Amino acid sequence: MDKKYLIPILLSYVAILAALYFAFIYAPTERTMGDVQRIFYFHVPSAWVSFLAFFVVCIASIAFLRTGKESWDILAASSAEIGVLFITIVLITGPMWAKPVWNTFWTWDARLTTSFILWLIYIAYLMLRSYVHDKERGARFAAVFGIIGFLDVPIVYMSIRWWRTLHPAPVMGGKEGSGLAPEMLMTLMICLGAFTILFATLLFLRYKTGMVATEFERLKIKIHS
Amino acid sequence: MSNLTYLFIAYAFIWTAIFLYLLNIGKKLSFIQREIKLLKEDGYKSEGN
Amino acid sequence: MTGLKQILTIVQKDLILEMRSKEIIVSMLVFSLIVVAVFNFIFDPGSEQIRTTAPGILWIAIIFASNLGLSRSFAREHENAHMQGILLCPVDRSLLYIAKVIGNIIFITIVEIISLPVMVVLFDLDLHGVLPLLLLVLFLGTLGFAGVGTLFSTISANTKSREVMLPILLFPVTIPIILAASKSTSYLLAGRDISQIWSWMRILIIFDVIFLVVCFLLYEYVLEE
């Protein structure tokens, strides 16, 4: 494999090993929740990465509509794919943590519901990309949907919050910053960093693959004509 | 005990998902690179003729 | 021609076309009545549950019927290449969006005006004193839904399996509008305090404004060059 691919892969490999060390050995066991709380150290970073990925989709979509450059479109598509991967991880690991702690897999709390709706929106985004006839126009459709999809995030979150405040929400443990031991906070930061590196690596690889693929299509047309 | 099962399932899912995605990209990339190589050789051959 | 006159001409064209075939209005209407009837069977006859869920059923009937109407109207335009015809006219493209939204609102409103009395009779709703506000809520919900729906149906009309694509794109994104509209309606019908009703209506208005502005700005990108 090419050297330029190997370096980021190795870097994220090391970062993840370090994060695992912190999550399992350095961080103390949570008193009430026990070991299952260690899901937290990769659940929260996954959520962060998925939001970051959808933010990149939005920015790349705006840039694509402005410039019409194909590379922005490829970046948006790559980032959306990775965002869906991580939001799926969030939606799977969340219930795995909630079941033993709150004794329920799911509650319609603002953050959970927003993640679920985000998942639906970006699955739709990926479907839209694969269902178009005309590639150039399809890229514009995807960009428009990518922008609206991201602008929808705060709107969905606020509406669900207003909806939920009228029903008493179950007590959510581990609200950001509340009663998190310094070691745990440190571990969380390391894991956030590691997952950000992982995101950058995946995005780089996926983007390069997309670029090579379009280059391939161009070459094919050139040779056959 | 059951707590650890949930922990295990969650971690197993995270790493398999990421690993499979990485594998998927790698496969796509190597496939395209191979195709490009073949296409280039083809192109040169037909130009040579 | 002034902008207003251009808008009115396009709306008029859509209405005349529909008056000839009546294809869209009739199918929307029948569909919304079927939804109301089917949902009725979920509950035991005469139970109090029906009245509390009536606002939700009303909105489900509206958005499902709207979805059907939107996909039908744009599919028809796509098949007959009406859009290309309009785009050839010296009409400002941003006005086209406004005209399309108005047209869709008219279609949906006709369906609402007919299915609302049916629901009042079937579910034994008491509209005494709340009718003006209820109509306002219906209009605001329809405005937001049609605003996003117009943009997305233009997109989905140009994809494969467009009937499936539209709800997949439209429903997740419009969840905040649907939520705010159905909450306002249920508070209204339950005879809640005006300040509580107003708090949801205000949210609905804010969402309408945001969605309409964004869709208005993005509409030109989904049209053919």
Closest-CA distance, B25 to chain A, in angstroms, reads: 6
The DSSP result for A182-220, as a single string, is: HHHHHHHHHHHHHHHHHHHHHHHHHHHHHHHHHHHHHHH
- Does a structural domain hold residue A7? no
Is residue A115, in this structure, part of any structural domain at all? Answer: yes
Residues ≥6 apart with Cβ < 8 Å to B23: none
Q: How confident is the model at residue C108 (pLDDT cuts 50, 70, 90)?
A: very high
Contact A124 C169 (CB under 8 A): yes
Shortest Cα–Cα distance, B44 to chain A (Å): 10
CB contact, 8 Å: C157 with chain A? no
Asked which of A198-207, C79-88, C138-147, C204-213 is least confident by mean pLDDT, the reply is: C79-88
Residue to substitute from B1, B4, B5, B11, interface A, most A β-carbons within 10 A: B11
Q: Given this model, what pLDDT does residue A165 score?
A: 61
State the sign of the Cα–Cα–Cα–Cα dihedral A154, A155, A156, A158.
positive
Which SS3 state, helix, strand or coil, does residue C46 take?
Answer: coil
CB pairs under 8 A between A and B: 78
Q: What is the mean pLDDT of residues C195-208?
A: 91
Q: What is the pLDDT of residue A174?
A: 46
Contact A38, A23 (CB under 8 A): yes
pLDDT of residue A136: 86
Contacts of C115 (CB under 8 A, 6+ apart): C29, C32, C33, C36, C58, C61, C62, C65
Range of the domain at A47: 41-167+181-224
**Cβ of residue C176 closer than 8 Å to a chain A Cβ:** yes
Predicted local confidence at residue A1, as pLDDT: 56
Q: Which of C145, C151, C158, C209 to mutate to test the interface with A (most CBs of A within 10 A)?
A: C158
How many domains does chain A fold into? Answer: 1
**Does A208 reach chain B within 8 Å, measured CB to CB?**
yes
Give percent of chain C above pLDDT 90: 45
Task: Inspect the interface and report whether the beta carbons of A162 and C203 lie closer than 8 Å.
Answer: yes
Could A159 and C203 be called an inter-chain contact, meaning their C-beta atoms sit closer than 8 Å? yes
Q: With contact defined as beta carbons under 8 Å apart, do C175 and C202 qualify?
A: no
Query: Does residue C49 carry a pLDDT above 80?
Result: no
Q: Does C178 touch chain A (CB under 8 A)?
A: no
In this structure, which amino acid lies at residue A51?
Answer: F
Sign of CA dihedral C23, C29, C70, A129: negative
Is A4 inside a domain boundary? no
Asked whether residue C112 carries a pLDDT value surpassing 70, the answer given is yes
pLDDT in tens, C170-179: 999 999 999 9
| pLDDT recorded at residue C185 | 92
Q: Is the pLDDT of residue C51 over 90?
A: no
Residue among A138, A140, A159 whose CB faces C221 most closely: A140
pLDDT of residue A17: 92
On average, the pLDDT of chain C sits at 88
Please list the residues that pair with C159 across neighbouring strands: A132
CA–CA separation, C88 vs C73, rounded Å? Answer: 20
Q: What gap in Å lies between CA A200 and CA A194, rounded to an integer? A: 10
Q: Which of A121, A158, A162 lies nearest to residue C172, judging by beta carbons?
A: A121
Give domain status of residue A98, yes or no: yes
Cα Rg, chain B, nearest whole Å: 21
Residue A185 lies in a domain: yes
Mean pLDDT by 10 residues, chain A (225 residues): 80 92 85 81 92 96 94 96 96 88 82 90 95 88 95 87 61 51 87 95 93 86 77
Residue given tokens 């090579």 in the structure block: A212
Would you state the pLDDT for residue A118?
94
- A145: region left, alpha or beta (phi > 0 left; psi from -120 to 50 alpha): alpha
pLDDT band at C137 (very low <50, low <70, confident <90, very high): very high
The whole-number pLDDT of residue A31 equals 74
- This complex has an ipTM of 0.89
Domain boundaries defined on chain B:
1-49
